[in-house]
Amino acid sequence: MPLFDRLYNFAHWLTHNRDEAEDLVQETYAKALKGFSSYQPGTNFRAWIFRILRNAFLTSRSGLNEYSLDDPDEDNANQSSLPTDPHTPESILLGRLDRQLVRNALDQLPVIYREALLLCEFEEMSYQEVSVTLGVPIGTVMSRLSRARRALRDTLRKGG
């Protein structure tokens, strides 16, 4: 199944629930198979199937409940940087804590920012691919990414 792991990871980030993510990916493949005639050969398949997943999420109950346009709080707290040494138990623990803080901060982002950030940074889609996937202009993608990164940075500065 093409892109299964990537689709599941994206679905899990959107839903915050393994069962819902599995259902969402299953629904995505079913809709992709049913509507494969609408896929235009030579276009970006990855953007096409991620768009199907996103649309399935948005029409789901959890998607409708979570999708909002609220801007995250803006706070200009000072960021402290901790030295890291990958060879000590302390630095390994700090790395694990940092990853958990980032996960928690991502979870706090509104869906419109989280989905743009995940597609661009984790799925390594270009702005054009994200634009096609989300069905919004590139300028909107860039704006959402900027706001997502700022909100993520601010949340991490607050300590999660």
Token pair in block for residue 74: 């803006």
For the domain made up of 1-67, give the CATH fold. Answer: Rna Polymerase Sigma Factor; Chain: A (1.10.1740)
* Distance (Å, whole) CA 88 – CA 135: 46
Mean pLDDT of 120-148: 92
**Which residues of the chain form CATH 1.10.10.10?**
82-160
User: pLDDT per residue over 51-81, tens digit each?
Assistant: 999 888 888 765 555 554 444 433 333 334 4
Q: What is the CATH number of domain 82-160?
A: 1.10.10.10
- Per DSSP, helices labelled H in the chain are 4-15, 18-34, 45-59, 61-66, 89-108, 111-117, 127-134, 138-158
Sign, Cα dihedral of 63, 66, 70, 75: negative
Which residues contact residue 89 at a Cβ distance below 8 angstroms, ignoring those fewer than 6 apart? none
Query: Phi and psi at residue 155, in whole multiples of 5°?
Result: -65, -45
Q: What is the pLDDT of residue 71?
A: 40
What's the pTM? 0.54
Most confident listed range (87-91, 105-109, 137-141, 154-158): 137-141
The 3 state secondary structure assigned to 132-152 is HHHCCCHHHHHHHHHHHHHHH
Total Cβ atoms within 10 A of residue 9: 16
**Which residues of the chain form CATH 1.10.1740.10?**
1-67
Q: What is the mean pLDDT of the chain?
A: 78
